């Protein structure tokens, strides 16, 4: 028995050290099978023609998500034209490798085309544009994309509990329904809260409307609200919790919440993350970890410290374990999988990076082992 374990470790370590040894016994995808957990990653279509990128992606993940290819500026570049070429490439790859596809994202305040952001529209015009966008994009991928981030990052981290100022929120009237505001008033305890909640209710109307339009476009698709910096118990996740509970009570079609999980400074409050997952899944919605990465400080030659790589592995293991301890947490997705292609570099002016399970040469890192060992341990 001992030599077999020795053989296993050596094969995996050999593989991870890129010594061209045989593929390890179990990939992330295989390790996740026992827990019926989706293990996914964000994908860039331009890299699919790179053999190491394509083979690692297909071997290790059973789900993928376009990192940028389905955002407005890419898929809806002109008022009357849609460009599905990049999205279709990714969908074709997934179909050829039996992978599920998450859609990202139908409504966001970033990566919107100039024709949308630099022209003043009435509420009715903007509502028409938004409905057409959602129904055209979701309609094109109906039956192929199983889950959508319908709305992304609508809550304002600078003003916890409030909605961010965006072209969608600031154009009152998109989908505001009498009962949206009224439903909030009912729950208010006193006038000051009453008016604040009523205001939020009316502002939130566009979110509700987008979920209704997406459901009309593909009644089978799972609909998610996706957010950053709401992974733990905090005023932002409280506001999202109130919205999701209200939507569930009023029958607004919502199936899940996406917690992005961009971990900074190697700090993750796992107990609070677990408690947050517990309360949301108790509402009857699924939780997906949608954009996980664990950024590390880089030295002058763009290398992370060895001790940080071990701490990073612990963060991946602990967060995956927290997800696996809740039946309603049904997917873990990393925001890219190789340090060769990650948003963190450009976003941090190259001071941070090395955030993902594979290094720039597609060698698996301690983070890979951390994630895989949690997956192998399965649901608790
Ligand atoms: O496509 C243009 C290309 O034509 C041009 O030559 C190039 C140079 O400027 O820019 C390319 O667009 C870039 C785009 O990614 C596609 O690569 C944009 O500049 C760049 O800003 C954009 O960055 C994306 C970022 O969202 C934008 O906000 C990242 O790739 C993407 O990883 C990141 O993802 C977001 C999630 O969607 C939501 N949660 C946070 C996460 C990280 O910001």
- DSSP, collapsed to helix, strand or coil, labels residue 287 as strand
Over the stretch 199-238, which tens digit does the pLDDT of each residue have?
A: 555 567 899 999 999 999 999 999 999 999 999 999 999 9
Average pLDDT of the segment spanning 264-285: 97
- Going by pLDDT thresholds of 50, 70 and 90, the confidence category of residue 379 is confident
- Catalytic residue among 60, 131, 153, 231, which? 153
Give the number of the atom of ligand 1 that is nearest the alpha carbon of residue 44. Answer: 17
Q: Which residues in 153-220 belong to E strands, given as ranges?
A: none
Cα→Cα distances 93→41, 63, 183, Å:
13, 11, 44
User: Which residues have CB under 6 Å of ligand 1?
Assistant: 67-68, 110-111, 152, 228, 260, 291, 343
The percent of residues above 90 in pLDDT, for the chain, comes to: 78
Number of Cβ within a 10 Å radius of residue 286? 19
29 with 63: CB under 8 angstroms? no
Contacts of 189 (CB under 8 A, 6+ apart): none
Helix orientation angle between 270-281 and 235-249, rounded to the nearest 10 degrees: 10
Which residues are 107's β-sheet partners?
151
**pLDDT, the chain, mean:** 89
Rounded Cα distance between 359 and 355, Å, is 9
Burial of 380 (0-12, 13-18, 19+ CB in 10 A): exposed
The conformation of residue 364, written as its DSSP 8-state character, comes to B
Give the number of the atom of ligand 1 that is nearest the alpha carbon of residue 335. Answer: 32
Contacts of 39 (CB under 8 A, 6+ apart): 28, 29, 31, 32, 60, 61, 62, 63, 331, 332, 333, 375
Phi-psi region of 324 (alpha: psi -120 to 50; beta: other; left: phi over 0): alpha
pLDDT given at position 11: 53
- Catalytic residue among 208, 227, 291, 369, which? 291
User: How many whole angstroms from 347 Cα to the centroid of ligand 1?
Assistant: 9
353 with 343: CB under 8 angstroms? no
pLDDT higher than threshold 60 for residue 180: no
222 with 232: CB under 8 angstroms? no
User: How many whole angstroms from 114 Cα to the centroid of ligand 1?
Assistant: 15
State which of 45, 65, 66, 68 you would mutate to test the pocket of ligand 1, scoring each by most atoms of that ligand within 8 A of its C-beta: 68
Average pLDDT of the segment spanning 40-52: 98
Rounded Cα distance between 367 and 314, Å, is 7
> Given 3-state DSSP classes, what are the helix, strand and coil percentages for the chain, each rounded to the nearest 5?
45, 15, 40
Give the number of the atom of ligand 1 that is nearest the alpha carbon of residue 343. Answer: 32
User: How many whole angstroms from 157 Cα to the centroid of ligand 1?
Assistant: 20
User: How many whole angstroms from 105 Cα to the centroid of ligand 1?
Assistant: 13
60 with 352: CB under 8 angstroms? no
Residue of the CA atom closest to atom 3 of ligand 1: 74
Q: Note if 291 is an active site residue.
A: yes
Which residues are 66's β-sheet partners?
43
Over the stretch 348-363, which tens digit does the pLDDT of each residue have?
A: 988 999 999 999 999 9
Average pLDDT of the segment spanning 3-32: 62
User: How many whole angstroms from 196 Cα to the centroid of ligand 1?
Assistant: 35
Give the number of the atom of ligand 1 that is nearest the alpha carbon of residue 110. Answer: 28
State which of 103, 111, 335 you would mutate to test the pocket of ligand 1, scoring each by most atoms of that ligand within 8 A of its C-beta: 111
- Going by pLDDT thresholds of 50, 70 and 90, the confidence category of residue 1 is very low
Over the stretch 110-137, which tens digit does the pLDDT of each residue have?
A: 999 999 999 999 889 999 999 999 999 9
Look-up of token digits 């053999």: 51
Residue of the CA atom closest to atom 27 of ligand 1: 111
């Amino acid at each position: 028995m001992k030599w077999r374990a020795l053989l296993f470790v050596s094969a995996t370590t050999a593989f991870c050290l890129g010594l061209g040894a045989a593929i390890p016994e179990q990939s992330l995808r295989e390790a996740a099978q026992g827990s019926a957990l989706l293990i996914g990653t964000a994908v860039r279509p331009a890299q699919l023609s790179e053999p190491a990128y394509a083979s690692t992606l297909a071997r290790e993940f059973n789900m993928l998500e376009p990192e940028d290819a389905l955002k407005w500026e890419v898929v809806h570049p002109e008022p009357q034209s849609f460009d599905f070429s990049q999205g279709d490439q990714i969908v074709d790859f997934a179909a050829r490798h039996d992978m599920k596809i998450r859609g990202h994202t139908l409504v966001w305040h970033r990566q919107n085309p100039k024709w949308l952001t630099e022209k003043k529209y009435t509420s009715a015009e903007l509502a028409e544009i938004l409905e057409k966008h959602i129904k055209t994009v979701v309609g094109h991928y109906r039956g192929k994309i199983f889950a959508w981030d319908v709305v992304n990052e609508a809550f304002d981290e600078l003003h916890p509990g409030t909605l961010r100022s965006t072209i969608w929120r600031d154009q009152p009237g998109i989908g505001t329904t009498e009962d949206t505001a009224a439903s909030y008033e009912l729950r208010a305890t006193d006038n000051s809260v009453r008016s604040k909640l009523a205001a939020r209710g009316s502002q939130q109307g566009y979110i509700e409307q987008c979920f209704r339009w997406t459901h009309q476009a593909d009644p089978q698709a799972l609909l998610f609200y996706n957010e950053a910096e709401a992974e733990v118990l905090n005023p932002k996740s409280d506001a999202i919790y109130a919205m999701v509970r209200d939507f569930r009570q009023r029958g607004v079609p919502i199936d899940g919440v996406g917690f992005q999980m961009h971990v900074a400074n190697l700090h993750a409050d796992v107990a609070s993350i677990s408690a947050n997952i517990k309360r949301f899944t108790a509402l009857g919605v699924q939780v997906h970890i949608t954009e996980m990465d664990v950024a590390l400080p880089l030295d002058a030659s763009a290398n992370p410290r060895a001790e940080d790589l071990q701490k990073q592995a612990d963060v991946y293991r602990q967060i995956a374990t927290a997800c696996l301890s809740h039946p309603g947490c049904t997917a873990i997705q990393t925001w890219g999988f190789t340090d060769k292609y990650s948003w963190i570099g450009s976003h941090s002016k190259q001071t941070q990076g090395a955030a993902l399970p594979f290094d720039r040469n597609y060698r698996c890192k301690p983070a890979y082992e951390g994630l895989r060992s949690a997956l192998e341990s399965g649901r608790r």
